[in-house]
Amino acid sequence: MRAEALSLFRQLHRAAGLMPTSNRAAFVRAKVRHEYEAHRGELEADRVRFLLRVGETQLDNIKSQAEHLSALFADPNLHARE
């Protein structure tokens, strides 16, 4: 499960780079690092499996948010004034 956790960490870290701004990418990377460090010593197998599933859900959320925000930021009318 350790290899799976490290793989998921890398995927989350890469997905953060999809965010449309460097500030948002840095925030997501810091959050990923914090969560990984907070649960690094977890030894209970059921808890580790649960945390991995939570991480996979978060990976999907990050990718979805990055896609949505990138489209939003690409809209030339985003900051248009009337």
User: What does the domain layout of the chain look like in residue ranges?
Assistant: 2-74
Q: What is the pLDDT of residues 2-13, one digit of tens each?
A: 899 999 999 999
Distance, C-alpha 31 to centroid of its chain: 8
pTM tops 0.95, yes or no = no
**What pLDDT is recorded for position 80?**
62
For residues 18-28, average pLDDT: 95
What values do phi and psi take at 38, rounded to 5? Answer: -65, -30
Q: Is the pLDDT of residue 82 over 70?
A: no
